[in-house]
Amino acid sequence: MWRSNPAGGPERLVALVDGVFAIAITLLALDFYVPRGLDSARYHDTLHELIPNLGAYALSVVVLGAYWRENRRIFGYVVELDGQVITLSILGLSVAALVPFPTKLISEYGREPASVAIYAAAVAALGAAHLALLLVLARRPWLRGETAPPEGFRLYALDLGATVVVFLLSIPLALTVGSTAMWFWLVMVPVKAALGVRADRASRPRPSRP
């Protein structure tokens, strides 16, 4: 399965990816439950207790949605599969399907450093699978029909790699300073913004010299 042998077009694998991400996002909502027969006070207490679940749900929807979008973009360049593309895709899907579990950990045990570390490890692993897939395509033009991202594979890989690095660094940080390490994830905002500016500049056509 790991060999670089032609394995047909990407259509069925793309459909599998869409299905797994859709199921993973759906599973995130299963933690929202309000029992019947509650009095007014207990009802409002239960709603208040669901706030951490809502925050974790929103975070994981953003994570899964972003990686689904990146997967769609990567496979937009794929015209032929091989064993390594299939294997890396399956590994990525296995992590995506696991995301509801660390999501539940940070919603119910968000103050535990291990919960933050496990969640960060899952996101980093998901990003690493996408990064590895992109690097395989960059080195094998016969799988992508000579197409490439407008900004180039280098900047695109740097963008994906930044996410992996930030979440990996937050693992020892979480085990050292605790759940406040989640604030470190906000580093992604300026980093992504800066990389987006560079990608936009790189993708613009250069004016021809007279």
Domain count, the chain: 1
Q: Which of 68, 71, 195, 63 is nearest to 121 (CA)?
A: 63
Range of the domain at 176: 11-203
- Is 2 within the bounds of a domain? no
- Is 209 within the bounds of a domain? no
pLDDT of 103 higher than 90: yes
Q: Which of 86, 62, 60 is nearest to 75 (CA)?
A: 86
- What is the distance between the alpha carbons of residues 171 and 177, in angstroms, rounded to a whole number? 10
- Is 186 within the bounds of a domain? yes
| Cα pseudo-dihedral 142, 148, 154, 155, rounded to 10 | -160
pLDDT tens digits, one per residue of 137-190: 998 888 887 788 888 889 999 999 999 999 999 999 999 998 888 999 999 999
Mean pLDDT to the nearest integer, 33-43: 80
- What is the distance between the alpha carbons of residues 119 and 137, in angstroms, rounded to a whole number? 28
Q: Which of 98, 24, 31 is nearest to 61 (CA)?
A: 24
